[in-house]
Structure 1
């Protein structure tokens, strides 16, 4: 009888159930969906930020006054507006005052916010919650409302500051006109800007402080390092990028502090509180020289960018140096 060999059973791979991994990968046209989702945000940003900037650059290169604003037939004059602006002695006086205003504010903001953040980190839970709530409430107060409150605080007749100083025996402050004195008005604006800026910087630095490992602090204290030494050798090197970020944001904030000055003093008395943004608005509105006002705004942007570039170069240079 012929012997028939049985074939070994063939093991076929079991079919995998249809799932997300077995589906076809989306084609190239499906990858456009994320871009379509962010297109409205990008369009809004271009319209609200890039377009005004480009429009200001265009106006600064034209002879753009009240007649051109109505008719729309502005003539290109190249860099003539910039030459006129840079040859104005008042512009350089205002630019110097702007840098002084920025430097004082940024130094005070960084110092006070760092101390507040370090203090908040050492508080208990209840104290920390109270300080953070107070900072958030101060930060959330609208700029115009805060400026109006400071106006009433330093009012010559009804202000609580004059009343308090007079009650303490300083009779010279009876009906003292704070906003008629250039130095006093400048100091009040500095206090206002610092008061509005410290909450954001302090909360940001406190959030960064919570990410520093406690083992580093314990090791530094075991080596006998003081509090200031721990901050210089441990805290600041660990949080250098956050300090750079806060510093750059405060430079931008103080450089463009227009609302506070315009609501409180409008740049007066005289030019005592006039900085570059206020100067640009005054130039555009007083004599309808919108071209010179736009040129002043562009110079302000260039100067602010230059300050930030110099600071970042110095910081990166220090990081690259061998220790």
Structure 2
């Protein structure tokens, strides 16, 4: 009897796994490349309304002001609709005037002093906010926001009432504490006293912006860094120099940049207090341009002064930006 045995199955050959093919731009969509190109232009399309509004609201007035600075325009030409081109006479007369350079120096010094005071008190107030408890912090922030949100003309009116010669609160308080010679002091009768009132007003309305934003910047500093500094035996001053200040340095640079722009072009604070007086001794470049252009009805001259004001501000900002960029490169 024969026994039938089953044949052994043939050996199975293992095939290496195939790698998945990378998707190509045209796979899955007939117009993949076109969609990618359209998506790349979407950010520029979204920026188009803002750029158009900036060009209309800012660019067009600048162009018209530039054209006006080359014209001899007073009330007679304005009424008769006559365009009388003067070439560069307005710029030549302005740059050759001692009053212009005197006002320019005054504007630069005024900006430097006020920005330094704003950054000093704003930084101290912001650091105080970081140390206070929740209730006191909320109360102080409310007061800062109210001072910041007050309209400039309203704040100027309050300061005029505080520093009034006859019925001002400041003179009454000074007289009550023993300074009897200040009972009828005229704060807007001299150059330095007028600048003191204006600077006090500007600092009071500008410190809240610096303080609140600096407090927000301090909340981004990791607490572990302070703990590590304390374990290393660092004092409070050393912790501020090695931990706090490096984190706040970019914010301080940007805030100083903004404050220089805002203070240099400040107009309502100065004009509303005493209209650049007494004897035009507290005029800065914006007030000087307004008085020469609108007050004296030399509109072309006022336009030329305003253009030169913009150029001077750009020159100051370019120097400051070079300092900021150099500092960033040194940190890297």
Distance (Å, rounded) in 2 between the aligned partners of 1:45 and 1:70: 30
Instruction: Give the structure 2 partner of residue 7 of structure 1.
Output: none
Distance 1:242 1:23, change over 3 A: farther
Distance 2:30 2:210 in 1: 49
Give the number of the structure whose alpha-carbon radius of gyration is greater. Answer: 2
Could you report, residue by residue, the CA deviation over 1:82-102 in whole angstroms, capped at 9, with x for unpaired residues?
111011001111111111110
CA offsets, 1:186-210, max 9 Å, x none? 1110000000000011111111111
Residue matched to 1:75: 84
Secondary structure in 2 aligned to 1:77? coil
**How far apart are 1:227 and its partner, in Å?**
2.8
Q: Does the C-alpha gap of structure 1 residues 284 and 167 become closer, same or farther in structure 2, counting only changes over 3 Å?
A: same
Q: Find 1:57's aligned residue among 30, 52, 66.
A: 66
> CA–CA distance in 1 between the matches of 2:166 and 2:222?
53
Instruction: Tell me the CA shift for residue 160 of structure 1.
Output: 0.5
SS of residue paired to 1:175: coil
Cα 1:149/1:322, change in 2 over 3 Å: closer
- Aligned partner of 1:97 among 99, 102, 106: 106
2:269 is aligned, of 244, 256, 260, to: 260
CA distance in 1, matches of 2:291, 2:56: 26
Corresponding residue for residue 47 of structure 1: 56
Given the superposition, is the C-alpha separation of residues 263 and 217 from structure 1 closer, same or farther in structure 2, using an over 3 Å criterion?
same
Bigger shift: 210-219 or 138-147?
210-219
Q: Which residue of 2 is the match for residue 298 of structure 1?
A: 307
Q: Distance in 1 between matches of 2:306 and 2:241?
A: 38
Q: Check conservation: 1:186, 1:272, Cα contact below 8 A.
A: no
Shift of 1:158: 1.1
- Partner of 1:194, secondary structure, is helix
- TM (norm. structure 2) is 0.84
TM-score scaled by structure 1? 0.86
Q: Distance in 2 between matches of 1:207 and 1:232?
A: 18
Of 226, 238, 243, which aligns to 1:234?
A: 243
**1:213 maps onto 2:238 in alignment:** no
Q: Counterpart in 2 of 1:318?
A: 327
Per the alignment, residue 247 of structure 1 pairs with 256
Q: Give 1:29 shift.
A: 7.8
Structural RMSD (CA): 2.4
> Aligned partners of 1:108, 1:190: CA distance in 2, in Å?
9
Aligned partners of 1:150, 1:144: CA distance in 2, in Å? Answer: 10
CA distance in 2: counterparts of 1:67 and 1:29, whole angstroms: 55
- Distance (whole Å) between structure 2 residues aligned to residue 66 and residue 237 of structure 1: 56
Distance 1:220 1:34 in 2: 44
Stretches of structure 1 lacking an aligned partner (at least 5 in a row): 1-20
Q: 1:235 Cα shift?
A: 1.9
